[in-house]
Amino acid sequence: MTNDSVSLHKESGTGLIENLVSLAILSIVIASVASSILFTLHSNNSTRTQTAAMSEVQSIVDDLRYSGYTNILDKFNSIYSSIANEQTASETITGANSRASYLITYTAVKRTAGSNPEAVKIRIVVNHRGGPADTNNFAFETIIAEAA
């Protein structure tokens, strides 16, 4: 063997160090892609849960609007004319399609004593869990008035 053939033999192929460096770079790329995929999946799950909670809030409000004004006044557990202005009543509902609970607070709006409340302000506080460490609270308000 001559010196030329020995030097050509040493330079052919990749060495152990080059392979280890390539493997390290590939591992970093795969880890960052996997992290991005997991973050996206978590975000999608959280958004799906929040959308379901908002849909349930809309259903709650629609049910209250269509149940009739007197059914809402019944939540105060007293004679309608004795309900005071700013008097409150509340109830908690657990969501059927989301991991949420709903605290519904009814507040009477009344201009004159001895009359029935003209409207009821409804505040719905949503406590929804998007995941083990992801808890969000948000609130919705609406007013339902007695039909004239």
Region 22-49: mean pLDDT is 85
From CA 56, how far away is CA 87, in angstroms rounded? 26
pLDDT score, position 128: 76
Q: How does pLDDT run across 4-29, given as a tens digit for each residue?
A: 555 555 566 678 888 889 999 999 99
Neighbours of 22 (CB within 10 A): 11
- Is pTM beyond 0.85 here? no
Task: Tell me the residue range of the domain where 53 lies.
Answer: 3-145
Q: Is the pLDDT of residue 129 over 90?
A: no
pLDDT score, position 53: 81
Q: How does pLDDT run across 58-113, given as a tens digit for each residue?
A: 999 999 999 999 999 999 999 999 999 999 999 998 877 667 889 999 999 998 88
**Domain count along the chain:** 1
68 compared with 3, residue with greater pLDDT = 68
From CA 36, how far away is CA 42, in angstroms rounded? 10
CA atoms within 13 A on the CB side of 147: 7
